[in-house]
Structure formats: C-alpha cells, structure tokens
Amino acid sequence: MAKPAYETHEHDVIVIGAGGAGLRAAIEAAAQGVSVGLICKSLLGKAHTVMAEGGIAAALGNVWPEDNWQVHFRDTMRGGKMVNNWRMAQLHAQEAPDRVLELERWGALFDRTKDGLILQRDFGGHRYARLAHVGDRTGLELIRTLQYHAIHQGIDVYMECKIERLLKDGDRVAGAFGYWRNTGQFVLFKAKAVVLATGGIGKAWKITSNSWEYTGDGQSAALWAGADLIDMEFVQFHPTGMVWPPSVRGILVTEGVRGDGGTLKNNKGERFMFNYIPEFFKGETADNEKEADAWYDDKKNRRTPDLLPRDEVARAINSEVKAGRGSPHGGVLLDICTRRPADYIRKRLPSMYHQFKELAGVDITKEPMEVGPTCHYLMGGVRVDADTTQATVQGLFAAGEVAAGLHGSNRLGGNSLSDLVVFGRRAGLHAALYAKNLGGALSVNAAEIESVAQGMLEPFSRGGGENPYAIQADLQETMHALVGIIRTESEMREALRKIETLKDRAGKVHVDGGRIYNPGWHTALDLTSLLMVAECTTRAALERTESRGGHTRDDHPYTDDTWGTVNVVLRLRNGVVQVSREPLPEMPAELKALFQERK
C-alpha cells in the first residue's frame, strides 16, 4: 500500500479543543509571543461551552459582600466531598473574579445589579449568590466573547479537524496527528507543547446532555501518550435534564431554574427534597418550606434543599421515580410557574422558556417541567499539576473538563465556566513558557505516523460488517444500565465483559463512502476513544468501594474516610489499563482551618 500522505503545520504551542478552556489557553499562549495553533473538532464557536446556561461562579461579592475566595473554596471542596485537589480549588476561587472581570473587559455583557455591577445568582452548593450570568445563556456569551477576542490575536485556527493521537519525541510531547473532517485528508501538527482542552466523555451514556463531540478524545490521547488519569469514576449526572418527548431526553434544564425560585415536586405535589438532606449538609440546609423560601431573600436562613449539590439531587430524583412517585414520563416535576410571575420567568430563563415551548410544547410560565437525571460532566480526567496544568508527560498540558482535580467527586454548578478560564489561562501560559525554554528541533516518528494513518483507513477496506452507529448505541445502553448513577460490582464486571465484546466488534467496523465529510467514518474513529474511557470509568468505579459524590455504589452505600485521602489512578502499560490508589496532596493547616470555623 502507498504511504498515506499528510500535510504538516508547525507551532510552538497547539491547543486541541476550542471551547472556553481552549480559547482562553490559546489567547494566553499568543500573549506570551509564541506561535499558536488552535484546533477545533467542529466549527469555531460551536463547542460544548455554548450549552452552559446558568452562569460562571466567582466570589465578586457584588450581591453578598460577605462572599470571598475562602467561602468559594470551602463550598467547592465540600461540594466535591473533600477529594478535590486543594491547590486547584484554591487557585480557582482566588482567580475566578479576575477572569470574570477580564471577560467583561473583552466585551461580555453580564446582567447587572441595581448599582450597575455584575449581577450574581444563586446556585446549588454555593453559600452566596455567586454566578455571574446572562439570563440562561452564559456559555454562549463566554464562548462568543473569547472567540471574537481570539481572532484578533494572531492565532491560527484549524476548524473541523480531529486529532487522533499525540506524538512524542522520547519522553516529551512533540505534536499531534489527525484528519480534516471536510476532506478526510491527514494532518500533522508539530509542536513543542500541547494543551488538551477537549472536554468530556458523556457520549458513552444513553441519556446525556453532551453532544456528539464528547467522546473522550483527550483523556484517551493522554493515556495512550503515557499520562495518568485520575478520578475517572466520578461522573456527574445533572439532576435536571428534559425527559419528554423521547427525542429531547437528556437536554439540559439549567440549575438556574431552582436558583431563581423553582422547586422539585413528586407526583403527589410534595417537595421531596426535604426528605433527602444528608447529614453532611444538615447544618446549612433548611428543613421546612418556610425557611427554604425565606432563604432566597435573606441568607440568614438556611438554604433550600432544592439547591443541594447535584449528586444529592440526582440521587433523590432517582429514588422518587423508583418509589413510584415520578411524573408521567419517568421524571419529577420542576415547578417555577406557581412560584414566580410569568414575566420574571421569561426574563430570567428565556432559553428554557423557548426550549420547552418549541421542543416539548410546554409553557413553563403555566405548567411544571418534567425533569430527570442526565449524564452531564466528568469530574475525573487527566492528572495535572495544579499550578502549571502540566500532565505527567512533559510538554502536555490540560485544562477544562478533560483535566481532573478541581471538582473532586462532584462539581458545583457554575464552577465549570470559571474552571475553563482560570485553568485555560494557566495552561496557555505554562505551555508557552515551557515551549520558550525548549531548545533544539523536534522530531516525530514517521513510521508511527504511518501506522496510525493506515489504521485510520482500515474501516474502508476491511470485510467486517459492523455498523459504527450500532456499536456506539450498544455502548451507551451498556454504560447506562450498568455504570450509571447507582453502581454495583456484579453489574460493572458485566459492563467490562461487554466493553471487551464491543472492542472486538469495533475492530470489525466497516464504513462505506469516501473520506470527504463522512460521519460514519468519524463515528468509527471516535469509537476507539469512547470505548477506552468507558473502560477507564468502569475500572475506576470498581476500585472505589465506597459512595462519594458522582460515584454511588449500591454494594458500598456509605462514604468511607479511608477513601477520602486517595485518588484512583489509571495508566496504560503495555496496552493494559493499570489501576492504583495514590494519596491526595495534603491541605495546609491554614486552609484546613476554614472547615472548622462553622457548620
């Protein structure tokens, strides 16, 4: 066979992924004066960040002057059930306000307080109203602001380009290899430093708020390049996704609905969250409706249990539905129409109003919404150094959802957008500094590239008759049924067996048609990484024999303190995923003191 042809581009830094983290990283790297390439799997401005709705968390103190980074830090750690990387949580809480103000300087128009400052809204697990927002389309504002800032910074943008593999020169990263989706031709990027900003893995589950892009590309590429992954067992099921009609099942309903006064009810009309307040949050959560409702206006009251962290609310909804108290289509009811005036709802939640009206025929100012858990976010991912975001492979950096540590076992709403800009900036900065200090020429292994390219073309020529879409659907069913919100050892062992079978089938995928914009081929290529991350999550979930945050074991239903000091670490050695437990970095005394001060 002829050698596969490919074009070559060379940069000091390449950033893979162009959502909030990737854009912010590219902007920062360019500001350091290095040459930057930004690679998007879709068109620029279409990444998953546009889907973020409720807001960006930052202790600006515009609404509650009592708020500060220490409170935000504490909320983040407690939300993550204390297995977060403390240093990441600290940097995040300290730097988020600056990053929000920077977005404002770059043109983001957040909703305002009466004094003309950035308005902040209540969200789950945040002690004070902390989320800067634009109605319920904050992610769109964030990505557009970064996108239109980035295009004037001399960054080379490569759209609809999918990276398949990272390349190394000895121990360090030297570039990446992939293909153009619209031509099917191969492309090599040589780079001194690579920033991964590829997002999550939600496409491995059936009911998900994630788009087709979320196939674990970055986590897999890092693993194949020798980097460690941690916390892969922690998968967040957002409590409120749409449940009806079936075609929209899983589409996100912002937590802002509850932040703005909405409440969850079962089919008996009961506000059931009062029955699910865990011991850990009892001191700060209202145990009666009167206090819960008063909390919205006066923070001297304890907060409503409707705004417990997402893991708690998702499990509660799951239990209500199982107990037969669900809504007609197997969710629960989210009611804002009896609690807030129609004008207020349309103004604060325009996109939810539009989404339910157009897709479900439901007027949320008049009727409750039907909602249920949907796979939403991966807390785990690439293990990084807190300050520099460097992975355990030299020259490889990671930021945003693909990186792990900040959120521990459960992410608070609003902490994702702030994560993107805080650690996106750090990734871009440190990747650029690393690239500047790296002397000498880079070399990549031509034979390795050739073999990757040949492998990518195989589905066209081989005889097997497997359909890539069918394998993806079977994987989604498997993960949903066996590695979902509630997990147990026997089911996860079965999942591993099924994943092995699916891998065999993926090796027999055949695709028809040519290389030009062929979604069947793209789906086939994405299967490799999707199966890899599905296996990683399952193995890590088997290892952690306790329940914590986004990892609930039916056979180990309690949180176990001995598990509160370790990460589950995954690495690939000789093609086999190895699982180990390694100690979490220990929090310094002055930060520990923040948890003793009050309830």
Chain positions contacting another protein, by CB under 8 A: 42-48, 50-51, 104-107, 109-112, 115-117, 119, 134-135, 137, 140-141, 144, 148-149, 151-152, 157, 159, 182, 211-213, 244-248, 251-252, 351, 354-355, 358-360, 467-470, 473, 511-514, 516-521, 523
Min dist. Cβ of residue 524 to another protein (A): 9
Backbone φ, ψ for residue 484 (5° rounding): -95, -140
Min dist. Cβ of residue 473 to another protein (A): 7
Min dist. Cβ of residue 495 to another protein (A): 23
Q: Which of 121, 238, 407, 487 is catalytic?
A: 238
Min dist. Cβ of residue 48 to another protein (A): 8
**Token code pair at residue 344:** 């207020």
Helical spans, DSSP H, in 300-387: 310-322, 342-348, 350-360
Question: Would you say 351 or 559 has its CB closer to another protein?
Answer: 351
Min dist. Cβ of residue 107 to another protein (A): 5
What count of other Cβ atoms lies within 10 Å of the Cβ of residue 142?
Answer: 28
Q: Which residues of 220-242 are buried (b: 16+ CB within 10 A; e: fewer)?
A: bbbbbbbbbbbbbbbbbbbbbbb
Helical spans, DSSP H, in 44-174: 69-79, 86-105, 138-150
Min dist. Cβ of residue 103 to another protein (A): 11
**Token code pair at residue 388:** 């520099």
CA atoms within 13 A of residue 132's CA, in its CB half-sphere: 29
Which amino acid is located at 384 in the chain?
Answer: V
**Token code pair at residue 397:** 């950096």
Q: Which of 258, 376, 522, 548 is catalytic?
A: 258
Tokens 């589409």 — which residue? 251
Min dist. Cβ of residue 573 to another protein (A): 35
Question: Would you say 224 or 517 has its CB closer to another protein?
Answer: 517
Picking from 195, 329, 316, 328, the residue whose alpha carbon sits closest to that of residue 263 is: 316
**Token code pair at residue 358:** 């157009």
**Token code pair at residue 300:** 């001297």
Residue 65, Cβ density class (10 Å: 0-12 exposed, 13-18 middle, ≥19 buried): exposed
Min dist. Cβ of residue 134 to another protein (A): 7
Q: Cα–chain-centroid distance for residue 338?
A: 32
Say if residues 479 and 205 touch (Cβ distance below 8 Å): yes
Min dist. Cβ of residue 212 to another protein (A): 7
Which amino acid is located at 257 in the chain?
Answer: V
Min dist. Cβ of residue 478 to another protein (A): 17
Give, for 16, the enclosing helix (H) or strand (E).
strand 6-16
Tokens 């004037």 — which residue? 152
What count of other Cβ atoms lies within 10 Å of the Cβ of residue 104?
Answer: 14
Strands (E), 154-207: 156-158, 161-169, 172-180, 186-196
Min dist. Cβ of residue 51 to another protein (A): 5
Question: Would you say 193 or 243 has its CB closer to another protein?
Answer: 243
Say if residues 365 and 353 touch (Cβ distance below 8 Å): yes
Helical spans, DSSP H, in 202-349: 217-224, 256-259, 289-295, 310-322, 342-348
CA atoms within 13 A of residue 526's CA, in its CB half-sphere: 28
| Distance, CA of 273 to CA of 260 (rounded, Å) | 17
| Distance, CA of 408 to CA of 410 (rounded, Å) | 6
Q: Is 165 a catalytic residue?
A: no
Bridge partner list, 332: 371
Rg over CA atoms, the chain: 23
Work out the widest C-alpha separation in the chain, in whole angstroms.
74
**Token code pair at residue 61:** 């103190």
| Distance, CA of 383 to CA of 404 (rounded, Å) | 6
Q: How close are the terminal C-alpha atoms of the chain, in Å?
A: 68
Q: Is 238 a catalytic residue?
A: yes
Q: Which residues of 543-564 are buried (b: 16+ CB within 10 A; e: fewer)?
A: bbebbbbbbbbeebeebeeebe
Catalytically active residues are 238, 258
